[in-house]
Amino acid sequence: MKSAKFFKYILEFKNPSGTSRGVLHTKETFILEISENGKKGIGECGLFRGLSYDDVPEYEEKLNWLCENINEDAEFLKQELKYFPSIWFGYEQAILNLKHGESLYFPSEFTDEKSSIKINGLIWMGHADFMQQQIEEKLELGFDCIKLKIGVDWNSEREILKKLRTKFPKEKLELRVDANGGFTFEEAKNVLKELANLEIHSIEQPIKKSEVRSPKSEDSLMAQLCAETPVPIALDEELIGIVDFEDKKQLLETIKPQFIILKPSLVGGFSGTDEWISLAENLEIGWWITSALESNIGLNSIAQYTFTKKPKIPQGLGTGGLFTNNFDSVLELNGDQLSMKKV
C-alpha cells in the first residue's frame, strides 16, 4: 500500500526577476512524497500563482485529497486531477521516482551522463544596463541562443536587440523574445515588423491569450497575427487551461502558430505535454519545452523527460540557479549544455 504526504516550500530569488506581470521575489511550490515498501518517490507540484490554471483556493485541499486517495487507479486520479495540472504533474514525477529510485525519472543516455541538452540563455527584464550585463555573461559562457523577456519598455528593449544584432549576425547568435502577452494587438503588429528587421528567431505570446476557449479563426486576434506575422510566433500562455484533447487540436488548427512552448507544470505534466507534442508534430508546428520556475526537483524531472523527446532546437531549462534556497541539484550547466552531474 502506498502512502503520501506533501509540504509547501517557498523559493527565494537571488535577484528579483522581472516579467511583464511584475517583479518576482519568491515562488511558492509544493513537494509531494509517495512511499511504498520502504521506498520513496518525490515530485514537485509546481503551482505558479497568477498563471497556473489550478491557482484556486482549494488547491491544498485537492492535494490532501490526492494523498488520501493515493492507492486509487492512476486513470481515475488523472481524471479527478484534470483541472489541477500541476498536482497531476507532481504525482507523475513521484510515481516515476518511486519506480526508478535515487534522482531518476526517465533513465536514458542523459541520466547515464553520456549526453546533454542544449538550452537557451534567459535574460530577465530590467533596466538596460542590467539586461546588457546578463547578455554579456551568457555570451561569455558560450551561449549562441538567447531569450530576452520584453514588453515593459519596448524602446529600450529594441535598442538592446539592435546592438546585439549589429555585433552578432543571426548565424552567430539566435535571438528569441518573450512578451508574456505584454503588447496590444496593434502594438504587436508593429513590434513584429521591427523584430523581422532584426532577424529574430521567434516571439512568445505577443498578446494576451484569447478570452474564449475555442476561438473561431475570424474572431481570434492571435490567429490573425500568426497568419500575417513576418516573425514566427510561439504560443505559451495560450495553452494553459486547455485540457481536453479535442480542444487542444482545435486551438492549434484555429490559431496555426509557428511554435508552441510547453511547460509541463502548466499543461498537465508529461502526459499533457505528450499530447501537445503529438498534435503539433502532426500539424508541422515546432515546439520546445521550458521550465516554469520549479525547484531543482521539478527541473530535474523536466530535463530528463525533455531528453527522451529528442529535441532538435535549444530548450528553455536554464532556471536552476535562480534561487538562494533551492534543493540540491543533480544537474550541471557547462556553457549551454545541461547534463547530469558526474558523481
| Distances from the Cα of 163 to the Cα of 67, 156, 331, angstroms | 53, 11, 33
| Distances from the Cα of 172 to the Cα of 139, 144, 146, 176, angstroms | 11, 6, 11, 13
* 149 flagged as catalytic: yes
Q: Whole-angstrom Cα distance, residue 69 to residue 146?
A: 43
DSSP string, 130-173: HHHHHHHHHHHHT-SEEEEE-SS-HHHHHHHHHHHHHHS-TTT-
* 263 flagged as catalytic: yes
Q: Which residue from 280, 278, 291, 273 is spatially nearest to 257, judged by alpha carbons?
A: 280
pLDDT in tens, the chain (343 residues): 999 999 999 999 988 766 656 678 899 999 999 999 999 999 999 999 988 999 999 999 999 999 999 999 999 999 999 999 999 999 999 999 999 999 999 999 999 999 999 999 988 777 778 888 888 888 999 999 999 988 888 998 999 899 889 988 999 899 999 998 999 999 999 999 999 999 999 999 999 987 544 445 446 899 999 999 999 999 999 999 999 999 999 999 999 999 999 999 999 999 999 999 999 999 999 999 999 999 999 999 999 999 999 999 999 997 678 899 999 999 999 999 999 987 5
Domains and CATH numbers, the chain: 3-100 (3.30.390.10), 117-340 (3.20.20.120)
Per-residue model confidence (pLDDT) at position 219: 61
Looking at 27, 138, 149, 248, which residue is catalytic?
149
Q: Whole-angstrom Cα distance, residue 252 to residue 239?
A: 9
Looking at 27, 138, 147, 263, which residue is catalytic?
263
